[in-house]
Amino acid sequence: MTERPSAEVSATPALGGPGAGDNEVLVTGLGATTPLGGDVTSTWEAMLAGRSGVRQLSEEWAAEMPVRIAARLAVEPTEVIERVKARRMDRVQQVAVVAAREAWADAGSPDVEPERLAVVVGSGIGGALTLLGQWDVLREKGPRRVSPLTVPMLMPNGPAAVVGLEVGAKAAVRAPVSACATGAEALAIGLELIRSGKADVVLAGGAEACIHPLPMAGFAAMRAMSTRNDEPERASRPFDKGRDGFVLGEGGGMVVLERASHARARGRTGYAVLAGAGITADGYDIVQPDPSGTGQARAVAEALADGGLTGADIQHVNGHSTSTPAGDMGELLALRTAIGDHPVVTATKSMTGHLLGAAGAVEAIATVLSIRDGIVPPTINLEDPDDAVCLDIAANTARKMNITAAINDSFGFGGHNVALAFTAL
């Protein structure tokens, strides 16, 4: 992957803030596997071209489901991971390892003491396929046929554990679980680990793989998912009047965060600065976001303050924007409150579907690449904007623009709100 050319990493963020000096945190590596591509490059190219990764499900069980579409991975992880190793991991763990390997290699495989290396990887649901699959084995074949690897494959910290073992991290291996805000929260925790002096390098992100009849039936019963089964590529349509719910996807995104002085010492420039993070809670409902958007706006405001930024500094927002009737408009109101009327907003879930615990990490990668390349990927399927749309949406085609600071926000069931502020080098 080609990095943005630069003579030397500055010791001070472009727009200042408490991250200045040795506590400045750079993004030095990116890795992803998504419904749009098996790596960052192919995913980014597909995003900029406005391609959808949503397809009809071909499994027999899907025929009886009210929702028969999803966004599956473009490349099977078993095509990348050694066969024997892959068989010892749940699919979500495989996804995490694929993305982590790319991010680590992209960062130049940092030479860092294990006690100064941390991993923060989360998943909203975890090893659901193992849990449900082994329950079937137990019922149909008895307890002696249950795999001895069942527990390490289903445990929620499994993705973090396998990635930690992959890179030999000993400073910490942490596994946040905050529903659809998980991937973003992992990056926020990574930022704090470096700032606090507990690590010099953190491999952070999220992974999800739960396209299975039970989770899909559960989401469908909540009427949270789109039922546009005959038009899968047009089903995810954030901000459009015709939106009727999100589309479930699977994937993983990983980011190498690194102390600037550590990166400089090994000759690495990086992509961007993770300047700040904000984490709040709505305290409103287990699934519905607070319609006032107050908690979401506070998370964005905290990220700005943490990064020494103001709303006027932000040119772009990669939004959570799931294509649900209530969620999209509440988010725009929160962004206008915290930032103002000027940022260009995009919703890449219109192409990837909703990757749940991986969403925030994959969208953070898109935000970083928007800063690097000076371009905002489109929100596809935006044909008839909701009358309540109050911000500038990059609709249907990518938009070129200079970006020095951007926000990526993520929200999850339970009222979790996370915002990340990135700045140019």
Convert 332-352 to b/e letters by CB count within 10 Å (16 or more is b). Answer: bbbbbbbbeeebbbbbbbbbb
Helix, coil or strand: residue 30: strand
Q: Which of 262, 316, 320, 416 is catalytic?
A: 320
Q: Is 416 one of the catalytic residues?
A: no
Which of 212, 262, 316, 354 is an active site residue?
354
CA 133 – CA 146 distance, rounded (Å): 10
Catalytic residue status for 316: no
CB 328 within 8 A of CB 290: no
Catalytic residue among 180, 210, 212, 262: 180
As given in the structure block, the two tokens for residue 223 are 């009427």
Strands across the sheet with 405-412, in order?
172-174, 117-122, 201-208, 251-259, 25-33, 272-281, 416-423, 405-412, 316-318, 344-346, 392-393
Residue 212 annotated as catalytic: no
Give residue 23's identity as a one-letter amino acid code: N
- Decide if 213 contacts 65 (C-beta within 8 A): yes
| 322 phi/psi in degrees, rounded to 5 | -90, -10
Other beta carbons less than 10 A from residue 213's beta carbon: 15
Q: Which amino acid is at 224?
A: A
**Which positions are annotated as active-site residues?**
180, 320, 354
